[in-house]
């Protein structure tokens, strides 16, 4: 028997949460009700009250209610609910969580779910699930169920949706993954333009006894990788594809936020870093490229993706940015530079071949890098077998150095 948290606004959505709670009990599981409502009295009796949730955010619920500012109340609950839920998980009092909501309820409950570890069962039934869910899911494995109709009573549509959602969370807590071999984890960043390098390095690292998790450097992938590093689960980082920094700098669509490339450095995780695909910035179709870039060099990757070659000026700035992030490192780290090409399409004869821009990138990176950080320059392209081998071997050496230290 598992315990499933039923989290939500028990004033406006109490009837619907009670329906789901009863279905969970019918499957033989227990429920723990958490109220995040701030309006009327709860229609479903909570095990953890709204006052406790507000207090976890350092807020006085009575004062919030007196202000009659719903936005401020939702913000307070969005701060308190993650604290409450994370504490319950840490204390092993719950095995899964489900919530139902509209805009405010979804904001509160998904904020709480994002505070939980990857792999912990999380289900959100939401009126917003058919749109852009990125702000709610973030980099966590939250299962979003479209409510189809509003979460406003039990009817022939909501009954089907809520029944399936209750079944989903029950199935998730009943399906416990096997422990596996528990090999130490290495995370790697990859793009289509660095696939051969990452795949070859991955084989070497796996042969050495590591499990390698590959993240697609599309913004979300970079943020997910950084989040996993921060969780403490990662032994080493194979950061071959740092391209998201270029999108962040130039306004492309695949930026991973201002802290990309900092988690390993700040958390003392051994790493290797390369300027993989810093020759490109990603936009959508050609019509989405800002007019200020009209005179730049472009490559049409597919009808939905337009790549823009980074300029010498941008490369100088990217070299400085990447160096300053690497300089934060407290664990062994090595920078590897493929002097002939940092992507498939920057090789000689390809559309993005610009040796001057690449040289400026490398020069800036080395100039701003801490003098005690090792730099290895190889006279080959990033996808050459010898570059992949060097990346894997240097990471293994850094891992061994960390163990010896």
The pLDDT, as a whole number, for residue 130 is 85
Residues 249 and 293 in one domain: yes
Phi then psi for residue 100, to 5 deg, are: -130, 140
Task: Give me the CATH number covering residue 300.
Answer: 3.40.50.12030
Evaluate whether residue 399 is within a structural domain: yes
The pair of three-digit structure tokens given for residue 195, joined into one six-digit string? 């696939």
Is residue 314 located within the same domain as residue 392? Answer: yes
Q: Encoding tokens for residue 329?
A: 């490192």
Task: Report the CATH number at residue 23.
Answer: 3.40.50.12020
Give domain status of residue 255, yes or no: yes
- What pLDDT is recorded for position 180? 66
Strand order in the sheet with 30-35: 30-35, 3-8, 96-101, 122-126, 143-146
Domain contains 179:
no
The answer to whether residue 191 is domain-embedded is yes
pLDDT at 405: 61
Residues 211 and 347 in one domain: yes
pLDDT at 396: 98
User: Looking at the structure, do residues 291 and 388 belong to the same domain, yes or no?
Assistant: yes
Is 72:64 a contact under the CB 8 Å cutoff?
yes
Residue 116 and residue 243 in one domain: no
Q: What is the domain extent for residue 44?
A: 3-174
In this structure, the answer to whether residues 337 and 383 fall within a common structural domain is yes
User: φ and ψ at 137, to 5 degrees?
Assistant: -80, -40
Are 167 and 194 contained in the same domain?
Answer: no
Which pLDDT belongs to residue 88?
A: 97
As a whole number of angstroms, the distance between CA 176 and CA 56 comes to 30
Does 332 reside within a domain? yes
Phi-psi region of 100 (alpha: psi -120 to 50; beta: other; left: phi over 0): beta
180 domain residue, yes or no: no
Is residue 166 within 8 A of residue 20, CB to CB? The reply is: yes
Tokens 């995040």 appear where? 36
At residue 40, the pLDDT reads: 87
Rounded distance, CA 246 to CA 241, Å?
A: 11
Q: What share of the chain is helix, strand, coil (3-state, %, to 5)?
A: 45, 20, 35
The domain boundary, picked from 139, 174, 209, lies at 174
Residues 253 and 310 in one domain: yes
Are residues 252 and 360 both part of a single domain? yes
Domain C-terminal end among 174, 206, 234 = 174
268 shares a domain with 146:
no
Same domain for 384 and 288, yes or no, is yes
- For residue 85, being part of any structural domain is answered with yes
The CA distance from 62 to 69, in Å, is: 12
**What per-residue confidence (pLDDT) applies to 139?**
85
Burial of 146: CB neighbours in 10 Å, binned 0-12, 13-18, 19+: middle
CA atoms within 13 A on the CB side of 345: 19
Structure tokens at 257: 């936020």
In the chain, the number of structural domains is: 2
pLDDT average per 10 residues of sequence, the chain (405 residues)? 96 95 97 94 94 92 80 90 96 97 93 93 94 88 93 92 97 84 92 96 97 95 94 95 98 95 97 98 95 95 93 98 98 98 96 97 98 97 98 97 77
Clarify whether residues 306 and 242 are in a common domain.
yes
The residue from 152, 174, 196 where one domain ends is 174
> What pLDDT does 152 receive?
85
Asked if 158 contacts 125 with a C-beta cutoff of 8 angstroms, the reply is no
Residue 378 within any structural domain of the chain:
yes
C-alpha to C-alpha distance for 210 and 206, rounded to whole angstroms: 5
């Amino acid at each position: 028997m598992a315990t499933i948290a039923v989290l939500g606004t028990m004033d406006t959505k109490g009837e619907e949460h009670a329906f789901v709670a009863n279905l969970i009990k019918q499957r033989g599981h227990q429920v723990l009700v958490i109220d995040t409502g701030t309006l009327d009295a709860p229609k479903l009796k909570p095990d953890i009250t709204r006052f406790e949730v507000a207090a976890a955010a350092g807020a006085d619920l009575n004062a919030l209610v007196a202000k009659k500012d719903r936005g401020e109340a939702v913000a307070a609950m969005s701060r308190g609910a993650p604290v409450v839920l994370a504490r319950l998980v840490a204390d092993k009092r719950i095995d899964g969580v489900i919530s139902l909501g509209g805009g405010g309820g979804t904001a509160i409950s998904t904020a709480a779910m994002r505070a939980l570890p990857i792999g912990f069962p999380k289900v959100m039934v939401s009126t917003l699930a058919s749109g852009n869910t990125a702000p709610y899911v973030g980099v966590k494995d939250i299962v979003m169920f479209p409510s189809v109709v509003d979460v406003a009573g039990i009817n022939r549509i909501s009954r089907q949706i809520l029944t399936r959602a209750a079944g989903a969370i029950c199935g998730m807590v009943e399906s416990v993954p096997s422990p596996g071999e528990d090999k130490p984890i290495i995370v790697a960043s990859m793009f289509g333009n660095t696939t051969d390098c990452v795949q070859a390095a991955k084989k070497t690292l796996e042969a050495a006894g590591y499990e390698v998790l590959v993240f697609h450097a599309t913004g979300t992938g970079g943020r997910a990788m950084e989040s996993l590093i921060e969780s403490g689960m990662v032994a080493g980082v194979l950061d071959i594809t740092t391209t998201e920094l270029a999108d962040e700098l130039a306004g492309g669509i695949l930026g991973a936020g201002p802290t990309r490339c900092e988690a390993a450095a700040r958390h003392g995780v051994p790493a290797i870093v390369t300027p993989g695909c810093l020759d490109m910035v990603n936009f959508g179709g050609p019509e989405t490229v800002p007019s200020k870039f009209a005179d730049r060099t472009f490559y049409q990757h597919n009808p939905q993706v337009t790549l823009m070659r980074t300029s010498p000026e941008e490369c100088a700035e990217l070299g400085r940015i990447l160096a300053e992030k690497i300089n934060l490192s407290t664990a062994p780290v090595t920078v590897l530079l493929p002097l002939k090409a940092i992507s498939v399409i920057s090789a000689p004869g390809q559309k993005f071949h610009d040796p001057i821009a690449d040289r400026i990138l490398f020069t800036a990176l080395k100039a701003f890098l801490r003098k005690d950080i090792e730099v290895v320059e190889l006279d080959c392209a990033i996808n050459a077998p010898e570059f992949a081998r060097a990346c894997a071997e240097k990471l293994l050496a850094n891992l061994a150095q960390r163990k010896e230290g």
